[in-house]
Amino acid sequence: MDRLEGKVAIITGGAGGIGAAVAKLFVAQGAQVLLADIDEQALVQVCREIGSNNVSYCVVNVTDAQDNLAMVETATQRYGGVDIFVANAGIEGDVASIVDYDEARFDQVMAVNVKGPFLGLKATIPALQKRGGGSVIITSSIAGVKGGAQIAPYVTSKHAVIGLMKSAAKELAGEKIRINTVNPSPVETRMMRSLEEGMAPGAAAQAKASIEASIPMGRYAQPDDIAKVMLFLASDDSKFITGSVYMADGGLTA
């Protein structure tokens, strides 16, 4: 089924594991996709792997308002508009106590993980309005609904985007613009390799085993597991759903 036939999607963090999986699935379902990321080399590689004329990229710093506006303009010029915005770009920050956490690093986490989606919404809303509606999906985390020792800035940022999503959903429901979050458990991506090493320097494998043991389904999510939830929220199958938090966590927060 081509569940996204005729739709145009922008995906930030498009060079990462989740972003790439979402792009691949969206293209397979008929969408034209613009990948946005700060890493051009990785963007080129993802586009090559997908191997379709319906995917392209632009280099974007999501913390910069002008870059976000240019991203939307690029999608409009190449594909005619925007129907779906996946605000997926994010960074994990450091593993450190609140007392020891570097202030500049805190600012960076908040800029990418909170200001980024805010500026993305600010830039894409007018384009979605021109299409008569659309879907926005923000990547949060299980850290958006529970605490986490040694990663307070990351947890704070992922709680914050749920507030952003709920506010935007209320504001834009009358214009048929739907906004939801997807909240993954640990996913098999570079980010988790970094966090595992930060939690247990030199013993990342043991850290991963401990985390997996806490997940009722006994494993990390695969990027495609998250992509399939986002496909549902991007498609008309979820046309009456907005303001919702979608846990994709193997039962971890049950």
Q: Which amino acid is at 114?
A: V
Residues with Cβ within 8 Å of 205's Cβ and at least 6 positions away in sequence, in order, are 196
| Residue 212 CA, distance from chain mean position | 22
Catalytic one among 57, 154, 220, 246? 154
Distance from chain centroid for Cα 229:
12
Give, for 179, the enclosing helix (H) or strand (E): strand 177-184
In the chain, the amino acid numbered 127 is: A
User: For helices 40-50 and 17-28, what crossing angle results, to 10°?
Assistant: 30
Q: Catalytic: 57?
A: no
- Which strands sit side by side in the sheet containing 134-139, from one edge to the other? 55-59, 32-37, 8-12, 84-87, 134-139, 177-184, 245-248
What tokens appear for 81 in the block? 């508009």
Catalytic amino acids?
Answer: 154
